[in-house]
C-alpha cells in the first residue's frame, strides 16, 4: 500500500509555522532524498548529530515538539531525530519524516531486551519482520493482526536490512573482540529475525516467558519498531530496524538496561551507523 508523498524542496521543511533553523546546511531540490535515522533515546544515537555538524553543518527544524536535524553524515544526506518512547510517539515521528522531509527510507537504531534463547546481552538483532505483541482485537480480528490491514507481521525492507546487517557483521569482525573486552560482555553476535514491540517495558521472567510461548520465534522485544514498520508499510517507504541487546527482559532488566544504555549503546550505534552510512554514501 502506498500514498503520494510530498515533493522534496530545499525550503519545504522550514516553512512550517514552528520551524527554527540553527544552520544553513541542508538538502536542495537537486539533492538525493535523505535517509531518516531515529532512535527513542539520545544515548541510542551516539554522536551522530555531532558527526553531521562537523561534516556538513546542521539545519535543525522543530516540528511537532521534535527537533529534526538535517545534514550529511559519512557522505549520506540524512534527517536525524528522536522518536521518543512508545509506539504512538514513534509512529508520529515517522509520519513527519515521510510527509515533511520526504525521506527515501527509515532506519531505527536502539537497544532491546533479548527474548530468543540464543540471544545474549551485547548481541545485535536486525529485524526481518516486526509485530506488535500487545495488539489484540480478538475475537473481531486474530490476535496480533492490525485491524483493517489484515497484517500482523510487517517485513523490513530486504535490501535495506541486508545492508544494515552487513554493517553489523563488519563491526563485529573489526571491533567485536575489543568491545567485549572494553565492556565486559561476550563478543557480540548478529541475529536476524522477528522483533516484537509493545507499550510495556518487559522486565519479569513471567512476562518474557509469556512472549516466548506466544511468539516462539521472537528474538527481541522493544517499544517502537513494529509501529514504525506499520507506518512505512502503509506509505510504501522502506524501513530497517537494528537493536543491540541491553538486557534479557527479566527481573534484572531495569538495572541492566540503564547500565548498558549509558555505557555501551552509543558506542555500538556509532560503529554500526558509521559503516552503514559510509557504504550508502559511497553508493551515492
231 close to 92: Cβ distance less than 8 angstroms? no
- Residue 121: predicted pLDDT: 87
**How many Å apart are CA 115 and CA 112, to the nearest integer?**
9
132 or 183, which is more confident? 132
Q: Count the alpha carbons within 13 Å of 107 in the hemisphere toward its beta carbon.
A: 28
Please indicate, yes or no, if residue 212 is contained in any of the structural domains. yes
Share the mean pLDDT of the chain: 86
pLDDT tens digit string along 23-71? Answer: 333 444 456 899 999 999 988 888 899 999 999 999 999 999 999 999 9
pLDDT over 70 percentage in the chain: 85
Helix 158-183 with 266-283: angle, nearest 10 deg = 140
- Residue 136: predicted pLDDT: 94
Reported as a pLDDT band with limits 50, 70 and 90, residue 228 is very high
**Using alpha carbons only, what angle is made at residue 218 by residues 217 and 219, rounded to the nearest 5 degrees?**
110
**How many Å apart are CA 32 and CA 214, to the nearest integer?**
42
CATH number of the domain where residue 170 is located: 3.40.50.1580
pLDDT tens digit string along 70-110? Answer: 999 999 999 999 999 999 999 999 999 999 999 999 999 99
- Tell me which residue range forms the domain holding 241: 13-283
Radius of gyration of the chain from its Cα atoms, rounded to whole angstroms: 18
How many domains does one find in the chain? 1
Query: Could you identify the residue written with the cell 538483532?
Result: 125
Averaged over 156-170, what is the pLDDT? 97
217 is catalytic: no
**How many Å apart are CA 197 and CA 110, to the nearest integer?**
13
Contacts of residue 217, Cβ cutoff 8 Å, sequence gap at least 6 = 116, 193, 194
Reported as a pLDDT band with limits 50, 70 and 90, residue 250 is low
Query: Could you identify the residue written with the cell 552510512?
Result: 277
Instruction: Say if residue 57 is exposed, middle or buried (CB neighbours under 10 Å; 0-12, 13-18, 19+).
Output: middle
Of 115-129, 157-171, 252-266, give the lowest mean pLDDT range: 252-266
**How many Å apart are CA 35 and CA 26, to the nearest integer?**
13
- Residue 252: predicted pLDDT: 65
Please indicate, yes or no, if residue 3 is contained in any of the structural domains. no
40, 43, 46, 49 alpha-carbon torsion, rounded to 10°: 60
Please indicate, yes or no, if residue 200 is contained in any of the structural domains. yes
Reported as a pLDDT band with limits 50, 70 and 90, residue 253 is low
Contacts of residue 187, Cβ cutoff 8 Å, sequence gap at least 6 = 122, 172, 176, 177, 179, 180
128 or 283, which is more confident? 128
**How many Å apart are CA 135 and CA 120, to the nearest integer?**
26
pLDDT at 224 over 70: yes
Helix extents (H) in the chain: 48-55, 87-99, 158-183, 205-214, 225-235, 253-260, 266-283
250 or 45, which is more confident? 45
262 or 170, which is more confident? 170
Query: Could you identify the residue written with the cell 515538539?
Result: 65
267 or 154, which is more confident? 154
pLDDT at 21 over 80: no
Please indicate, yes or no, if residue 46 is contained in any of the structural domains. yes
Please indicate, yes or no, if residue 5 is contained in any of the structural domains. no
Cis (ω within 30 of 0) for the bond into 139?
Answer: yes
Reported as a pLDDT band with limits 50, 70 and 90, residue 18 is very low
- Residue 249: predicted pLDDT: 65
pLDDT at 254 over 70: no
- Residue 111: predicted pLDDT: 92
**How many Å apart are CA 45 and CA 51, to the nearest integer?**
11
- Residue 279: predicted pLDDT: 85
- Residue 139: predicted pLDDT: 95
Q: Which of 44, 102, 123, 222 is catalytic?
A: 44
Q: Which of 128, 145, 157, 247 is catalytic?
A: 247
**How many Å apart are CA 118 and CA 115, to the nearest integer?**
8
Please indicate, yes or no, if residue 18 is contained in any of the structural domains. yes
Please indicate, yes or no, if residue 2 is contained in any of the structural domains. no
Please indicate, yes or no, if residue 136 is contained in any of the structural domains. yes
17 or 279, which is more confident? 279
**How many Å apart are CA 234 and CA 249, to the nearest integer?**
30
- Residue 27: predicted pLDDT: 43
44 is catalytic: yes
Amino acid at each position: 500500500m502506498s500514498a503520494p508523498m510530498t515533493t522534496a524542496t530545499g525550503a519545504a521543511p522550514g516553512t512550517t509555522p514552528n520551524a527554527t533553523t540553527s544552520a544553513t546546511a541542508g538538502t536542495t531540490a537537486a539533492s538525493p532524498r535523505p535517509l531518516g535515522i531515529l532512535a527513542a533515546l539520545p544515548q541510542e544515537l551516539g554522536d551522530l548529530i555531532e558527526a553531521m555538524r562537523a561534516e556538513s553543518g546542521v539545519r535543525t527544524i522543530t516540528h511537532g515538539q521534535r527537533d529534526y536535524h538535517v545534514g550529511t553524515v559519512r557522505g549520506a544526506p540524512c534527517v536525524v531525530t528522536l522518536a521518543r518512547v512508545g509506539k504512538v510517539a514513534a509512529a508520529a515521528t515517522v509520519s513527519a519524516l515521510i510527509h515533511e522531509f520526504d525521506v527515501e527510507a527509515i532506519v531505527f537504531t536502539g537497544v532491546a531486551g533479548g527474548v530468543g534463547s540464543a540471544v545474549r546481552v551485547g548481541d545485535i538483532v536486525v529485524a526481518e519482520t516486526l509485530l506488535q505483541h500487545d495488539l489484540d482485537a480478538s475475537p473481531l480480528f486474530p490476535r496480533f493482526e492490525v485491524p483493517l490491514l489484515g497484517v500482523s507481521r510487517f517485513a523490513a525492507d530486504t535490501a535495506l536490512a541486508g545492508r544494515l546487517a552487513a554493517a553489523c557483521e563488519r563491526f563485529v569482525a573489526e571491533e567485536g573482540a575489543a568491545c567485549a573486552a572494553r565492556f565486559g560482555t561476550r563478543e557480540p553476535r548478529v541475529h536476524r529475525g522477528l522483533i516484537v514491540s509493545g507499550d510495556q517495558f518487559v522486565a519479569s521472567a513471567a512476562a518474557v516467558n509469556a512472549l516466548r510461548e506466544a511468539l516462539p520465534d521472537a528474538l527481541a522485544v522493544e517499544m517502537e519498531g513494529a509501529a514504525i514498520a506499520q507506518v512505512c508499510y502503509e506509505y510504501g517507504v522502506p524501513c530497517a530496524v537494528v537493536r543491540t541487546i541491553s538486557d534479557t527482559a527479566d527481573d534484572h532488566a531495569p538495572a541492566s538496561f540503564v547500565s548498558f544504555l549509558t555505557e555501551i549503546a552509543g558506542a555500538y550505534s556509532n560503529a554500526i551507523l558509521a559503516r552503514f552510512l559510509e557504504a550508502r554514501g559511497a553508493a551515492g
